[in-house]
Structure 1
């Protein structure tokens, strides 16, 4: 069986290190995981005014999450919290009221930043926000990494073999979690 994993990159940066982190995870992911990005970068700022005429771009975003068996979210930490763009995406997928494309699904929040705490607090804020939707949050192993663009090689993997081994073990643990709960 193949499991579809929607992934969300919490940063709007075109050169996001969290995108590189997810790429390194996907590079060594088990073959039974199929990945599709749930891109929120073009969503307008959420307002209840949209509920009466829900935009197609938001419908398409939610459909990716609805069709997925699991969700991987890679988030940086902005000012000790969740990035605004990611919070906006969460607001969109929770609307109109009662919508819940991640309820009961395995969800794994990981992240990286150039700062010394490696997005740990941003992940806590993200998990806290997601708890409202009652997902099956996988909390171990924690992946909060201090990293830079120079840590990733041409092949999309971490240059340091031990670091790549760690992210490989993390995505393998998520695959096991998905197999048990999807």
Structure 2
């Protein structure tokens, strides 16, 4: 894969977000010719169709970042058995205005972590359903549900467990193959 850009949407706004840590650890596993561009979804106003023309500047910047990317990586926590509202808001803005969706045809992948034993399984399923409705071809296998523990990722954004690192590396490799195939 040569000079490919991945837009990263982390569904948590917390400064010490475990999902932000996960995104950084995944980025560290990526080959040098793949760049990760992080979207600031917290800067987006709440979606309101009345505000589409002209697009607010943070929305225009967000859409430009996603539109320039070869793929999108969604790293989401699970809030009340679904995705966080801030992530849904970003998806809504990315789909608008009508006919100018940033998601259609853009390969995506979904991963996340939470303290619960099932990781973010429910949130990931909901997110895959939303992305299917937006026409974003989403990597379906392998799925990655990671239980977050304090020692999962160190201060240098590295996985501390070799088995977890190898699993996530395989997941990332499969996603990057998916991006290469669909963006060719």
TM tier, smaller: over 0.9
Matched residues, number: 182
**1:95-114 aligned within 5 A:** 95-114=96-115
Secondary structure at 1:7's aligned position in 2?
strand
The CA deviation string for residues 37-73 of structure 1, in whole angstroms up to 9 with x for no partner, is: 1121111111112013320110000100000011100
The CA deviation string for residues 5-53 of structure 1, in whole angstroms up to 9 with x for no partner, is: 1110011111111111111111111222111111211111111120133
The two structures have a TM-score, normalised by structure 2, of: 0.94
Secondary structure at 1:92's aligned position in 2?
helix
Secondary structure at 2:6's aligned position in 1?
strand
**1:66-145 aligned within 5 A:** 66-145=67-146
The CA deviation string for residues 117-152 of structure 1, in whole angstroms up to 9 with x for no partner, is: 100100011111111221111111111111133321
Alpha-carbon distance in structure 2 between the residues aligned to 1:117 and 1:29? 25
Higher RCO (C-alpha 8 Å, min separation 6): 1
Structure 1 residue 106 displacement after superposition: 1.2
Alpha-carbon distance in structure 2 between the residues aligned to 1:6 and 1:45? 20
Aligned partners of 1:24 and 1:167 also within 8 Å: no
Structure 1 segments, 4+ long, off by >2 Å, are none
Alpha-carbon distance in structure 1 between the residues aligned to 2:95 and 2:180? 25
Aligned partners of 1:81 and 1:122 also within 8 Å: yes
Q: Equivalent residue for 2:154?
A: 153
Secondary structure at 1:53's aligned position in 2?
coil
2:51 aligned with 1:50, yes or no? yes
Q: Equivalent residue for 2:24?
A: 23
The two structures have a TM-score, normalised by structure 1, of: 0.95
Q: Equivalent residue for 1:163?
A: 164
